[in-house]
Structure 1
């Protein structure tokens, strides 16, 4: 049995990832800040775990409670409160980076001892196309109209840290996924993709075997070339 931890799994992309991986036979631990919001995850058969990626003690307690771990999906993220330049300050930037970037590092570092004991350790970091500068600069792309700075910058960092983790840990499959413009609470449900479409890349990467790619960035159509 494959044991999987998903952060931010109480709704949206995290919840749908949990549903699909449970259907694939995984034992899923659904991490979330408030376990009281976990009824939907429990209904799927997930095991709800209190996990706040901005709180090291919470992260350590969540990982200490797992008997084993094969797959880590770093899904938790926030969009933040700044959507341009005039409303941007260092505090707004720091809040997004703390969750979206430092949160990935906190959870991954705490998970490494368990992952190192797995015969097929896999990490999927949920990034975004808005972290891809080429797409931000390409008219006609979904990403191009986005004016915000903290969220795209945080997802660019997630893509880079994915590459670096993969280089440091060649025995693991460590990749980043781009959900695409998916209808979730994060964007006011304005995306044109369903959550199932938005989790295609994450689920495919979570199901990789030992011979799968590592250090790559994928969307639902496959690898995004660097």
Structure 2
């Protein structure tokens, strides 16, 4: 799970410039039931050892409380852009985010390829880099037990894969993703993926032009 931030800063001449930030990544790792779940930084990667290694409401809440203090300052509000998964739409989640001055935008079904910046330009290169790390481990370092079965990699090994793969996702890649998802106000609408949509692209462009007039 990763958060891509797009903040704006005002210069002396009142122009606004984007500040693109590649935030820290959170690795979910399955643990034995009963162990207390908490986020710890291990080898430069935030790790949450959880009984269920997927994005539950509990995981999202821990992640939000970890990341937002690093982003929000003073009276600033946060914005989460994500899909309409049941954990995101739940009333408890909406109340939780509202208490932390976080607004949310739900990406409509079928529009992920046009509006979800992570899927558009971040997830694939990250997964490709991660696959290279895993293949290198399998070919060069994976060991077997006395029964000749492969030994499960430990947490430190997995952390190194994630750290190395995420480190190869550059800030320029993040900037391109925000433009593709039409989250960069300095980039024209025509540069976004939604502009290429046969039906919605022309409709949105017409609305934008109408508002400008």
Shared fold, TM over 0.5: no
Rg bigger for which structure? 2
| Structure with greater strand share of residues | 2
